[in-house]
A = this chain, B = another copy of it.
Amino acid sequence: MPTTGRVLKRLLVGRAMRSDRLGETLLPKRIALPVFASDALSSVAYAPDEIFLTLAVAGGAFATTHSWQIGLGVVFVMLVVVASYRQNVHAYPSGGGDYEVATVNLGPRAGLTVASALLVDYVLTVAVSISSGVQNAAAAMPFLRGHEMPIAIALVVLLTAMNLRGVRESGSAFAVPVYAFMFGIIGMGLFGFARAAFGHLPQAESARFTLLPEPGSGGIMGFAAMFLLLRAFSSGCAALTGVEAISNGVPAFKKPKSSNAATTLLLMGTIAVTMLMSIITLTRMTGIKYAENPATQLWINGHPVGPAYQQDTIIGQLAKTVFSGFPVGVVFVSIVTGIILVLAANTAFNGFPVLASILAKDGYLPRQLHTRGDRLAFSNGILILAGAAAFLIFIYNAEVTKLIQLYIVGVFVSFTLSQTGMIRHWNRHLRTERDPKVRARMMRSRIINSIGAVMSGTVLLVVLATKFVKGAGYAIAAMVVLYVLMQAISRHYRRVREELHVAETDSDAQLLPSRVHAVVLVSKIHKPTLRALAYARATRPSVLEAITVNVEPDETRSLQQEWDRRDIPVPLKVLDSPYREITRPVVDYVKSVRRGSPRDVVMVYIPEYVLGRWWEQVLHNQSALRLKGRLLFTPGVMVASVPWQLRSSEGVEDRLDRPRAGSIRRGS
Closest B residue to A645 using CB positions? B635
Let me know if A441 is at the binding interface, CB within 8 A. no
Task: Please state if A534 and B516 are interface contacts (CB–CB under 8 Å).
Answer: no
Closest B residue to A22 using CB positions? B580
Task: Please state if B609 and A633 are interface contacts (CB–CB under 8 Å).
Answer: no
Whole-angstrom CA separation of A318 from B645 in the bound complex? 68
Task: Please state if B618 and A583 are interface contacts (CB–CB under 8 Å).
Answer: no
Q: Taking the nearest CB of chain B, how far is it from the CB of A490, in angstroms?
A: 10
Whole-angstrom CA separation of A637 from B532 in the bound complex? 11
Task: Please state if B616 and A492 are interface contacts (CB–CB under 8 Å).
Answer: yes
Whole-angstrom CA separation of A566 from B503 in the bound complex? 10
Task: Please state if B652 and A643 are interface contacts (CB–CB under 8 Å).
Answer: no
Task: Please state if A638 and B642 are interface contacts (CB–CB under 8 Å).
Answer: yes
**Total A residues in contact with B, Cβ cutoff 8 Å:** 95
Let me know if A221 is at the binding interface, CB within 8 A. no
Contact A372/B603 with A502-B525, A538-B512 known, Cβ cut-off 8 Å: no
A65-95 CB mask vs B (1 if < 8 Å, else 0) is: 0000000000000000000000000000000
Task: Please state if A666 and B551 are interface contacts (CB–CB under 8 Å).
Answer: yes
Let me know if A207 is at the binding interface, CB within 8 A. no
Task: Please state if A583 and B663 are interface contacts (CB–CB under 8 Å).
Answer: yes
Contact partners of A3 in chain B: CB under 8 A:
none
Let me know if A470 is at the binding interface, CB within 8 A. no
Contact A640/B639 with A533-B510, A584-B663 known, Cβ cut-off 8 Å: yes
Task: Please state if A19 and B534 are interface contacts (CB–CB under 8 Å).
Answer: no
Contact partners of A217 in chain B: CB under 8 A:
none
Task: Please state if B538 and A539 are interface contacts (CB–CB under 8 Å).
Answer: no
Task: Please state if A530 and B513 are interface contacts (CB–CB under 8 Å).
Answer: no
Task: Please state if B666 and A649 are interface contacts (CB–CB under 8 Å).
Answer: no
Contact partners of A565 in chain B: CB under 8 A:
504
Closest B residue to A646 using CB positions? B499
Task: Please state if B539 and A657 are interface contacts (CB–CB under 8 Å).
Answer: no
Contact partners of A109 in chain B: CB under 8 A:
none
Let me know if A424 is at the binding interface, CB within 8 A. no
Whole-angstrom CA separation of A471 from B293 in the bound complex? 52
Task: Please state if B500 and A644 are interface contacts (CB–CB under 8 Å).
Answer: yes
Task: Please state if B367 and A619 are interface contacts (CB–CB under 8 Å).
Answer: yes
From B512, B608, B621, A632 is in contact (CB under 8 Å) with B608
Let me know if A573 is at the binding interface, CB within 8 A. no
A492-546 with Cβ < 8 A to chain B: 492-493, 496, 499-502, 504, 509-516, 525-528, 530-531, 533-535, 537-541
- Stoichiometry (number of copies): 2
Contact partners of A667 in chain B: CB under 8 A:
580
Let me know if A579 is at the binding interface, CB within 8 A. yes
Contact partners of A366 in chain B: CB under 8 A:
618-619
Whole-angstrom CA separation of A622 from B369 in the bound complex? 12
Task: Please state if B513 and A501 are interface contacts (CB–CB under 8 Å).
Answer: no
A48-73 with Cβ < 8 A to chain B: none
Closest B residue to A612 using CB positions? B633
Q: Taking the nearest CB of chain B, how far is it from the CB of A626, in angstroms?
A: 8
Task: Please state if A510 and B496 are interface contacts (CB–CB under 8 Å).
Answer: no
Let me know if A592 is at the binding interface, CB within 8 A. no
Contact partners of A663 in chain B: CB under 8 A:
579, 581, 583-584
Task: Please state if B527 and A500 are interface contacts (CB–CB under 8 Å).
Answer: yes
Whole-angstrom CA separation of A520 from B123 in the bound complex? 43
Contact partners of A620 in chain B: CB under 8 A:
367, 496
Contact partners of A641 in chain B: CB under 8 A:
628, 632, 638-640
Closest B residue to A610 using CB positions? B632
Whole-angstrom CA separation of A640 from B519 in the bound complex? 13
Q: Taking the nearest CB of chain B, how far is it from the CB of A559, in angstroms?
A: 13
Whole-angstrom CA separation of A368 from B666 in the bound complex? 37
From B496, B516, B566, A504 is in contact (CB under 8 Å) with B566
From B552, B630, B638, B643, A633 is in contact (CB under 8 Å) with B643
Task: Please state if B500 and A538 are interface contacts (CB–CB under 8 Å).
Answer: no
Closest B residue to A661 using CB positions? B584
A593-618 CB mask vs B (1 if < 8 Å, else 0) is: 00000000101010011110000101
Q: Taking the nearest CB of chain B, how far is it from the CB of A7, in angstroms?
A: 20
Q: Which one of A638, A652, A660 has the highest number of Cβ atoms from chain B below 10 Å of its Cβ?
A: A638
Whole-angstrom CA separation of A415 from B372 in the bound complex? 61
A133-159 CB mask vs B (1 if < 8 Å, else 0) is: 000000000000000000000000000
A646-668 with Cβ < 8 A to chain B: 646-647, 649, 652-653, 656-657, 660, 663-668
Let me know if A20 is at the binding interface, CB within 8 A. yes
Let me know if A587 is at the binding interface, CB within 8 A. yes
Contact partners of A513 in chain B: CB under 8 A:
534-535, 538
Whole-angstrom CA separation of A622 from B380 in the bound complex? 14
A222-242 CB mask vs B (1 if < 8 Å, else 0) is: 000000000000000000000
Whole-angstrom CA separation of A579 from B20 in the bound complex? 8
Whole-angstrom CA separation of A637 from B608 in the bound complex? 12
Q: Taking the nearest CB of chain B, how far is it from the CB of A535, in angstroms?
A: 5
Q: Taking the nearest CB of chain B, how far is it from the CB of A64, in angstroms?
A: 55
Task: Please state if B619 and A492 are interface contacts (CB–CB under 8 Å).
Answer: yes
Q: Can you offer 20 A-B residue contacts whose CB atoms are under 8 A?
A: A18-B579, A19-B578, A372-B580, A499-B527, A499-B647, A500-B528, A500-B609, A512-B537, A512-B538, A551-B666, A552-B666, A552-B668, A579-B663, A584-B657, A587-B657, A632-B643, A633-B649, A634-B653, A639-B641, A640-B640
Question: Which of A's residues lie within 8 Å of B, judged by CB?
Answer: 16, 18-20, 366-368, 372, 489, 492-493, 496, 499-502, 504, 509-516, 525-528, 530-531, 533-535, 537-541, 551-552, 565-566, 568, 578-584, 587, 601, 603, 605, 608-611, 616, 618-622, 628, 630-635, 637-647, 649, 652-653, 656-657, 660, 663-668
For the complex of A and B, list the 4 residue pairs with the smallest distance between their C-beta atoms, beginning with the closest: A580-B665, A500-B526, A509-B530, A640-B640
* 8 more A-B residue pairs beyond the given contacts A499-B527, A633-B643, with a C-beta to C-beta distance below 8 A: A368-B622, A499-B646, A502-B527, A513-B538, A539-B539, A579-B660, A581-B663, A581-B664
